[in-house]
Amino acid sequence: MKFKASQIAQLLNGKVEGNSDAVVSTLSKIEEGKPGSLSFLGNPKYFPYIYSTDASIVIVDRNFVAEHPIKKTCTLIRVEDARIAFAKLLEMYQKAKNNRTGIEQPSFVSKSASVGQDVYVGAFSYLSDNVKIGNNVKLFPNSFIGENSTIGDNTIINAGVKIYHDCIIGKNCIIHAGTVIGSDGFGFTTDNNKVPHIGNVIIEDSVEIGGNCVLDRATLGSTIIRKGAKLDNLVHIAHNTDIGEGTMLAAQVGFAGSSKVGKNVQMGGQVGISGHLEIADNVKIAGQSGVGNNITKEGSIVQGSPSFEIGQYRRSYVLFRNLPDLEKRIKALEKILQELKQSAEK
């Protein structure tokens, strides 16, 4: 698809500076810009590239001031916020790319399944009995949707996603390749017998889940990912966990069962959360931290394993990073004391 600078400016409520008839057909990073490509300038670190880029169109902030001449082949579009504007274009580009409809063969759709309008079902997908698929849902190849599961309007299920029985996926969600939703939780009795997990997983609207995540079904009730939450790749959510609205979990975060996380919580990569905990709203947990106790104060920032308040952690870190030096000093003092003792005994 090709777009003129004037068309892009109209979409973004921006102003063209240069050739309004400049045409682009692809996107690029500003440092790798080529003729016919569209880029953006948002981070001051990349300002020098605006003077050398070969991109045909670059989106810049409205208040950007050029310190050197810009190539005549480069047209600027000035907007309120270049990063937000470019993200909007990326979203539009992605939607256009995913705008597929129809049921490819071979695939299986149960006679009792309900499929909405403008749905795409990729080859080798399987829709089980009593599945309900909303309008404009995209199921890419090798998707599996278990019995009695529901997927809301405009949701994208990427290749190889497996959704077990009785799970509920909301509207406008994106689930990336290889993710498993609704597998059994890790629960066994003391005599090593498996505890049946007969609950489900509920994913509310506008949730995005990265690739190769696993969300276990509840023992009873539901494992819940609430509206607007974002999960990076390789995240594990154990049975009966409740993730609050707008919460963001970076890669390799792992939960034990039945913990409840508040709204707008942020967790860095490889954070581990013990079972049956409560974490308050707006808490931030630094990467590789291990949380073994409730965090009840809203807006807390913690770090470490076991985790504690970040100010205390930093003060402690100053001490324990110097432990080898302190050990040497202690040994030197011990040697001096030993020499003094021996002198005193003489």
Q: What is the pLDDT of residues 292-331, one digit of tens each?
A: 999 999 999 999 999 988 888 888 888 878 888 888 999 9
Query: Quick one: which of 169, 163, 222, 180 has its CA closest to 198?
Result: 222
Could you tell me if 239 and 218 are in contact, meaning their C-beta atoms sit under 8 angstroms apart? Answer: yes
Sheet holding 242-243, edge to edge: 114-115, 132-133, 150-151, 168-169, 200-203, 222-225, 242-243, 260-261, 278-279
Q: What is the pLDDT of residues 107-155, one digit of tens each?
A: 999 999 999 999 999 999 999 999 999 999 999 999 999 999 999 999 9
Token pair in block for residue 4? 């003129």
Q: What is the pLDDT of residue 91?
A: 84
The answer on pLDDT for 92 being more than 90 is no
| Sign, Cα dihedral of 238, 239, 240, 246 | positive
Residue 345 buriedness (CB in 10 A; 0-12 / 13-18 / 19+): exposed
Q: What is the pLDDT of residue 143?
A: 98
pLDDT band at 11 (very low <50, low <70, confident <90, very high): very high
Query: Quick one: which of 248, 250, 179 has its CA closest to 215?
Result: 179
Q: What is the pLDDT of residues 155-206, one digit of tens each?
A: 999 999 999 999 999 999 999 999 999 999 998 888 888 888 999 999 999 9
Q: What is the pLDDT of residues 232-283, one digit of tens each?
A: 999 999 999 999 999 999 999 999 999 999 999 999 999 999 999 999 999 9
Token pair in block for residue 176? 């990336």
Residue 9 buriedness (CB in 10 A; 0-12 / 13-18 / 19+): buried
Domain boundaries along the sequence of the chain: 3-97, 321-345
∠ Cα 12 26 137 (to 5°): 75
Q: Residue 45 carries which DSSP code? A: G
The answer on pLDDT for 97 being more than 90 is no
Q: Which of 176, 197, 236, 239 is catalytic?
A: 239
CB atoms within 10 A of CB 191: 5
Amino acid, res. 34: K
At the fourth CATH level, the homologous superfamily of domain 3-97 is MurE/MurF, N-terminal domain (3.40.1390.10)
| Sign, Cα dihedral of 302, 305, 308, 309 | negative
Which 3 state secondary structure label does DSSP give 337?
Answer: helix
The Cα 92–Cα 288 span in angstroms is 35
Residue 36 buriedness (CB in 10 A; 0-12 / 13-18 / 19+): middle
68 catalytic, yes or no?
no
Q: What is the pLDDT of residue 323?
A: 85
Single pTM value for the model? 0.82
